[in-house]
Amino acid sequence: MPGNMLSKGEVFVIDTDAAAREQLSTALQQNAYDVICFADGASLLSEAKARMPACVLLEMPPDRSGLEVLKRLREENCMAPVLVTSAKGSIAMAVDAIKSGAFDFIEKPFRTRDIVERIDAAIDEFGPPASNRRRWLPGREPLTERESEVLEHLAAGLTNKEIARRMQLSARTIEGYRASVLKKAGARNVTDLLRRIFGQGTAQATVTQG
């Protein structure tokens, strides 16, 4: 990264092609990102336990082993957006990636400039992981801090019991928070809620402060 630029955050890049890793790393560094490259999922998961990246760029190999890496990131509450890339992508693979928590699915070959733009957009959508910014629907009653935290855990695919353990609350209490979030969003269920909040339905999400 150029010395006169403030860092926009760390991006974890996993790609089996060393040349591709180098190309992506150079492009991201030129756009003020710090980059940590990995050759395999195990090393990325180990590093993700110690630090929270701003974004993860995850290659999906033909055997789909990247899905397990993606699921593990979400299970361990890594809230950074994950962009999945694949040289042999399919609609089914893209659907599985999104269901497993991916923010975006990008087919290879791609232009590094496009990747940088999509990483910028993903980070802007998610906001800084440690901040209290949250995605919500315009015109709807704001969430409390606890409701916002429950929403983030739901978005990560956690169950009520898992959320309860992380927040050190009872599962019944989490059920109450979830019901409140659903009511405020006007959503029928969690799937409908996430579709509305993350802009995949007719309603468009926004970021509010609070």
CA nearest neighbour of 19 among 116, 109, 120: 109
8 Å CB contact between 57 and 38: no
Residue 17 has pLDDT above 90, yes or no: no
Where are the domain boundaries for CATH 1.10.10.10 in the chain? 134-208
Decide which of 37 and 50 is more confident: 37
Residue 13 has pLDDT above 90, yes or no: yes
Q: What is the pLDDT of residue 207?
A: 33
Q: What is the pLDDT of residue 3?
A: 54
Fold of the domain built from segment(s) 10-126: Rossmann fold (3.40.50)
Question: What number does CATH give the domain 134-208?
Answer: 1.10.10.10
Whether the predicted model's global pTM rises above the 0.85 cut? no
pLDDT in tens, 104-133: 888 888 888 899 998 998 888 775 444 444
